[in-house]
Chain A
Amino acid sequence: MHELGIVFHIIKTVERVGAENKLVQVSAVTLELGEVSGVVPQELSSCWSWAVKKTELMKEATLEIETIPALTFCEGCQKTYETVQHGRICPLCGSEHTYLVQGNEINLKEIKAH
């Protein structure tokens, strides 16, 4: 359900960019997806196939997903570690004072069109 809303927003943005650049047909859209963005890629892809068919500009567009690994910074020991593997508590010093550096992105990277 969440994924469908995201797909609608991508379509809206691509249609705006399409109009600005006088594009006829979009063949591919590349998305950067963080590992902990909360978006399920398979879910996103199935929403995509359903939703783009309803548009003229994007009816043949494929969705390409580039994954951005999630990294967390620890304020305790000033080091960075892999979020998915270790979670919120620093595996190096045990500190709870950590924050995500990258990995929650849902970015529209580029579109391929003619």
Chain B
Amino acid sequence: MDKVRIIEIKESVFADNDREAERLRAELKREKTFLLNLMSSPGSGKTTLLMRTIEALKDKLRIGVLEADIDSAVDAEKVATTGVKTIQLHTGGMCHLDAGMTEQGLKELGTADLDLVVLENVGNLVCPAEFDTGAVKNAMILSVPEGHDKPLKYPLIFTVCDVLIINKIDVLPYFDFDLDKVKEYAHMRNPNLKLFPLSAKTGEGMDVWLDWLQQEIKDWNQTT
């Protein structure tokens, strides 16, 4: 009988995933492809925002989309109507994507001729925040009907994101949503978080978001 051994590992469960994500980012850098990870709860308007963003930028940038859902292809079919390359990823019951799954999706999509790939993560404010996908920037959408207390209830996702899009501001008059409060709560979790209040439906505020995204893509391709 072999001797029993104790092997000390002492690292986060996510350490392997974090290393894979770093490697993926370095590859994307070489290929000059910008990967944006878009997260939110279900029904926040992720797909609508994505479609408006694609429509505004598809003549300037070569865009691809990875749609992640537990099941079905309804979002991918909708996004495909914009004419950009789209792939549906099924997580097989899991509530998030990790770097390995993202890499598989990117391989399938083929990124060599793409400037921007948007990963529409599974609709969920908890699990996707735990796993680095290899994205260059993380953005999350919080829609007005969800309420301004979300940064208090789901602090992690606000910590890992670079951008917070407040969507559906066209319905602000009908909801008890305090824009100043959400700014305060979100900055308490992450002082560097950028906030873009907008309405993907009416187009209000979209230009600020689109300017930011285009500038980030430019910076990613320029810096070495």
Interfacial residues, chain A to chain B (CB-CB below 8 A): 1-2, 4-6, 9-10, 12-13, 16-17, 21, 23-24, 27, 31, 38, 88, 96-97, 104-114
Contacts and interface: CB of A to CB of B under 8 A. Distances in A.
Given A23-B5, A38-B156, A113-B4, 19 more contacts: A1-B95, A1-B127, A2-B95, A9-B13, A12-B16, A13-B15, A27-B4, A106-B14, A106-B130, A107-B10, A108-B9, A108-B10, A108-B13, A108-B15, A110-B8, A111-B6, A112-B6, A113-B5, A114-B5
B16 A114 contact: no
Nearest to A29: B9
Given A9-B17, A13-B15, A38-B156, A112 B5 contact: yes
B96 interface: yes
Interface of B: 1-17, 93-96, 98, 126-127, 130-131, 152, 156, 188
Contacts of A1: 93-95, 127
A89 B15 CA distance: 31
Contact of A17 (B2, B9, B96, B126): B9
A5 B8 CA distance: 22
A102 to B, nearest CB: 13
A106 B130 CA distance: 10
25 contacts: A1-B94, A1-B95, A2-B130, A4-B94, A5-B96, A5-B98, A5-B131, A9-B98, A10-B13, A13-B13, A17-B7, A23-B5, A24-B2, A38-B126, A97-B188, A105-B12, A106-B14, A108-B9, A108-B13, A109-B8, A110-B10, A111-B6, A111-B7, A112-B4, A112-B7
Nearest to A106: B13
B13 A31 contact: yes
A31 B12 CA distance: 9
A108 B94 contact: no
Nearest to A25: B2
B3 A108 contact: no
Contact of A6 (B5, B10, B13, B93): B13
B5 A2 contact: no
A9 to B, nearest CB: 5
Contact of B4 (A17, A21, A105, A114): A114
Nearest to B4: A114
Contacts of B10: 107-110
Contacts of A112: 4-7
A113 B13 contact: no
B1 A114 contact: yes
Contacts of B17: 9
Contacts of B188: 96-97
B3 A107 contact: no
Nearest to A1: B95
A2 B152 CA distance: 20
Contact of A9 (B1, B8, B16, B127): B16
A23 B2 CA distance: 10
A113 B7 contact: yes
B22 to A, nearest CB: 15
Contacts of B13: 6, 9-10, 13, 31, 106-108
